[in-house]
Amino acid sequence: MENNLMERWLDYTNQHNKLEKKLENTLKRKVNLSLNEYYVLYYLGKTPSHCIKLIDISKYFNLSQSAMSRMMVRMESEDYGMIERKTCLDDKRGIYIHLTEKGKNMLIEAERYIEIILNESL
């Protein structure tokens, strides 16, 4: 019985890894986003105000603090401009991430490809 469970687990992780790689490659090729960058846009898009505390969004990722910081800098840069950071008015140490208009448009464009791939694969 244990071997059957292990085979199912390995099959599941293999399928998951293939799907994740397909999503990553498609997003890179079509909209110049990494999968993690898409996830940031996705989570921001789900909030009513399109903003979230940086510390809260970090909980969704298995990234080091420095990797998360580099991703935020890249997404905020002039070349990308998908997010902007603002200091929390209540707590000057807190930082909020806001979805920009460019970020909203990128999210809409990326979601088209995500939906196609997930519909084909799931």
Q: Return the CATH number at 68.
A: 1.10.10.10
Structural domain for 21, as ranges:
2-121
Question: What's the pLDDT at 110?
Answer: 97
Q: What is the pLDDT of residues 40-69, one digit of tens each?
A: 999 999 999 898 988 888 888 888 888 998
pLDDT band at 2 (very low <50, low <70, confident <90, very high): low
Q: How many domains does the chain have?
A: 1
Instruction: Supply the Cα-derived Rg of the chain in whole angstroms.
Output: 17
Burial class (CB in 10 A: 0-12, 13-18, 19+), 47: middle
When the pLDDT of each residue in the chain is averaged and rounded to a whole number, the result is 91
